[in-house]
Amino acid sequence: MAELLPRLRMNLDFMPSPVAGKPGLLIRDPYGFSDATLIIPPGLVSAVELFDGESSSLDLREFLARLTGDLDTGSLERHLIETLASAGFLEDETYERMREARARAFADSPVRRAAHAGSGYPEDAAELRMELDRNLGASLGRDTDSLVGIAAPHVSPFGGWSSYRAAYQSLSAAYSDRTFVVLGTSHYGEPDVLGLTRKPFATPYGVTTAAGELVDLLEAKGGSSVRMEDYCHAIEHSIEFQVVMLQHLYGPDVKVLPVLCGSFAGSLYEGNVPETSETAARALDALGELAAREGDRLFWVLGVDMAHIGRRYGDAVEARADEGEMVVVASRDRERISRIEAGDAAGFWSLVSENQDPLKWCGSAPLYAFLRAMAGVRGELKHYEQWNIDAQSVVSFSGMSFSR
């Protein structure tokens, strides 16, 4: 009996190859268990689809024979299996060893080390300061006692400096003693829950101060709706980029409460408000209780992007920023932004959940959670923009401020 092929991991990123001269399917590991990136040639993409846990080595052999016109496919078959396995892309012992090693290394570390230094921003502190001075500004804004939060992108800073600048130039020296609740999109954690870590963040600037007592408070109030999602924090960029900006303005030991907000996917697809889920309702209530108890001792920073349109995100359209379809997307984005500015959580979610969110706003959950926690808040759009993350795909984002 033919041996079943191991299953290809479903928690990988799959996208059309962006590399000129190398068409095909790009596969990479967003969880960082593996550092490998593979580009599968177009002719072999269907062969990779056979790694579904149900197809056998005989099925693969038959496919390769049809593809090559040669019955002797043994070496090609072995090469494909060994390449996927050694990359850690199959559900096998190699992957388990990689996963356990990375999880153990993070658990043993006293800090959450910078995962995106050297790729998302410079890893040298002096170079980082020069870049942020140039793109973010070296000075803080005027003092105001009404500001309670900002929303900035979590796209790579080099793609969104105008929006980062618009958000962070709202801040003043008056907030230096606040605890910054950095509420970020959770790209890897469980839906409906708040994901926490007790580890301080280490960046090229230094190490933050952890808000351990507030982590304890959220965990106590939220019960099973609040999880220690350490490894999600280890690789997540939505909070790390905001931490670097805050350290640039207030010093390395700025006090940070990092909170990953899981998607409200169930309510999105069912057309309900997130609170329909008991898990989401308890998470939102815990965040609201934290806001009410701590008041002006907190300052909220949201790491959120908006629409995701184009080939990378499964759309047929080849998206160009501010052109064609993206002009319509901008109008629809601004409808949602107007509800955020009004502090209208229900109205915002009604627009997001319509037709199961074809705009694919990955920041919708943190924005909704913030509007629920800070009832009565009003927002102000500082800057809106779109950026081609690749030649066929666009992300939209903005800089906003929030006041009582």
Report pLDDT digits (tens) over 310-352: 998 989 999 999 999 999 999 999 999 999 999 999 999 999 9
Tokens of 61: 């052999």
| pLDDT at 139 exceeding the cut of 80 | no
What's the burial of 209, exposed, middle or buried (CB within 10 Å: 0-12/13-18/19+)?
middle
pTM for this predicted structure: 0.89
> Which residue's entry shows tokens 């502190």?
125
Tokens of 327: 């002009």
Give the pLDDT band of residue 367 (cuts 50, 70, 90): very high
- 197 bridge partner residues: none
Task: Supply the pLDDT for residue 323.
Answer: 97
| pLDDT at 62 exceeding the cut of 80 | yes
Digit-coded pLDDT (tens) for 74-133: 889 999 999 999 999 999 999 999 999 998 988 899 999 999 999 999 999 999 999 999
| pLDDT at 71 exceeding the cut of 90 | no
Tokens of 393: 């795909």
Helix (H) or strand (E) segment spanning residue 393: strand 393-403
| pLDDT at 142 exceeding the cut of 80 | no
Closest of 250, 248, 252 to residue 127, by C-alpha:
248
CA separation for the pair 111, 113 (Å, rounded): 6
Closest of 188, 227, 151 to residue 383, by C-alpha:
151
The whole-chain average pLDDT of the chain stands at 93
Digit-coded pLDDT (tens) for 214-244: 999 999 999 999 999 878 999 999 999 999 9
Ordered structural domains, the chain, with CATH:
13-105 (no CATH), 116-403 (3.40.830.10)
- Taking phi over 0 as left and psi of -120 to 50 as alpha, with beta for the rest, 118 belongs to left
Digit-coded pLDDT (tens) for 184-212: 999 999 999 999 999 999 999 999 999 99
